[in-house]
Structure 1
């Protein structure tokens, strides 16, 4: 095989999509040798180096830093959790987990409501979601969130609301008058005159 045929064969192995020139019409022309894994590895390395030269890897997260350690045995779905955090996806938790999350912040949500009727409706809706999640047959994590008693929640809401209004309505203590005999903060200490 002459040197030109070798170069064409090597070029074909590196880039199989390149145009092949059929210079000889005889059937004796040798077919290019099959691609070897080493050739594919070289081609991939060349593509990576070219992308690095173009700067396509410059702004990647953790550039120049070690990758964070991930304990895959303790956290098998680590990639899914990271994806949800990175893309800020909400509302995709299984209902049992979403109920736990909502249960943790329910008091804050109730405190933002202005009427007892709205508090009752919010607690009723929350309880309905718990009952519906317990009835579903789709599997997933168990529903461990407890139902909320409407009367208890309304009483707690009233108590929290009363404390908030007392805290805002308590007047600040008036400063004590500073006179000769008062010992308030900032008043000078009495001095004794001693005879020599």
Structure 2
């Protein structure tokens, strides 16, 4: 993400501090769904890795058993709005209502003092960012795998993700049908690559 965009949204979390041992922060957008989320959970377990799942509220409502699996396996639920809406095409009032509806569903499974929110598509306005900052930590990213882009070969997604990852990186995957082909290729190889280098994978 360009440095100018980061400066325009200082309320947002773009990257975590570098630590020793080096740590990465894996995030998964658009789930949970029974077709893809269990694969993510199984893969994370193989590497003793933790992940933060930015959930679409409607998916949690339809698949609560999958969301419960995320919690039971020690991962974190986070807000990705109820209907996966863009902050650029909705009024602040309607967007905040959609966010609150999603959070109400998540709180039934894993209440949190200051919940995390990732705006779908990364689309958010300055006024929305300021309004949300009172109740949420808005989380962006510094590594986007492009697993959802079917025009990207899986090998290209993996190479791009590895090349752009640094200690403290927040990396975006998607547990969605659209991302399935690339995500299932990239995620285990990405984890293996950085596990071999001594990285840990922690919750936000």
User: Could you tell me the TM-score, scaled by structure 2's length?
Assistant: 0.18
Of structures 1 and 2, the one scoring higher in RCO (CA 8 A, sep 6+) is 2
Larger radius of gyration, structure 1 or 2?
A: 1
TM-score normalised to structure 1 length: 0.19
| Higher-helix-fraction structure | 1
